[in-house]
Each structure stands twice: as C-alpha cells, then as structure tokens.
Amino acid sequence: MNVQDFVDNKAKQLCFYLRAFWQGELPIEEIELFFWDSMEEWGQIEYTLTQPYTQKERVFWHVLHQVHYWNEEKLTKDQFLIDELNNCVNFLEGLGHCPLDCVGIRP
C-alpha cells in the first residue's frame, strides 16, 4: 500500500467515525482506537521524505491530529472546532473546498 492508498482508505473511515461520533452513535474511545490503529498501519507504509503531500493528505492528518488532541467535551460542544472539522470532513468526502488553515503533516 502506498501513501495515497492509505490516505484514501483512512480518510473515508475517519469521516465515517467522526460523523457517527457527532450523532451520538459512536463513543470517543472508538475514535481513539482508530487513531492508534491508523498509527500502527502508517508505520508499515513506505515513503520518502521528499514525497510531496496532496491537499487531501494534509487535511487528513490535520483532522486525525485534532480528534486525538481534543477531549470529548471540546469535540462535541465547541462550535468553532466542530465547524472547522466539518469543513475538513466535507472536503475529504469531495463535498467542499480545501480548508486553507489545515497544516497536517505525516507523523
């Protein structure tokens, strides 16, 4: 699996998990498990440090970091954060423009 395949696959899953979490259908612990599983899988991806990022990859890493960094209350009650993440999710799903303030980087 290459970087693009990884990002495409994981972005779909991340969007699904985050939307389910916001709808109260998925506990925060499942997102944490997804984060750690993704980090483990990322460790198996071969890439070079000079390999360029796509916009989708930058947004993916940004969202993944955000859902790991913030606590459950912040992710469910901070409307500014929710709006930002929702814009990112829309972009990852092909429904919006690339958010300009996403600076996600590979771990």
Segment 48-84, tens digit of pLDDT: 888 899 999 999 999 999 999 999 999 999 999 999 9
Structural domain contains residue 15: yes
Residue 101, in any domain of the structure: no
Distance CA(60)–CA(101), nearest Å, equals 13
Percentage of the chain beyond pLDDT 70 is 100
What range defines the domain where residue 14 resides? 3-92
In this prediction, residue 43 carries a pLDDT of: 95
SS3 call for 53: coil
In a domain, 100, yes or no: no
What does pTM read for this prediction? 0.94
**Contact status, residue 70 vs residue 84, Cβ threshold 8 Å:** no
Structural domain count of the chain: 1
Backbone angles phi, psi at 67, to 5 degrees: -70, -20
Query: Would 99 be classed as within a structural domain?
Result: no
Classify residue 78: in a domain, yes or no: yes
| Tokens, residue 37 | 């599983």
pLDDT at position 1 over 90: no
